[in-house]
Amino acid sequence: MTQRAGGGALARMGIVGELLSFLWQRKLWWLIPMIVVIVLFGVLLIFAQGSAVAPFIYTLF
């Protein structure tokens, strides 16, 4: 794993740091909230597949 000079904390975070760095450098920081919501939604769906929470999530949609 290579680190860029002056990368700081973002360079040590791996893929997440690379994504945040890419979005920030390209002035796409406004996409960060959408990415966070999509990731949280995905985690919710994965968590709810085999749990007792599934009937409650079903009512949301």
**pLDDT, tens digit, 9 for 90 and up, residues 2-12:** 555 555 665 57
Confidence of residue 1 (pLDDT cuts 50, 70, 90): very low
pTM of model > 0.75: no
List CB contacts of 59: < 8 A, sequence separation 6 or more: none
Spatial contact of 48 and 54, defined as CB atoms under 8 Å apart: yes
Q: What's the pLDDT at 37?
A: 92
Distance between start and end Cα atoms, the chain: 42
Q: Could you report the per-residue pLDDT of 12-27, keeping only the tens digit for each? A: 778 888 888 888 899 8
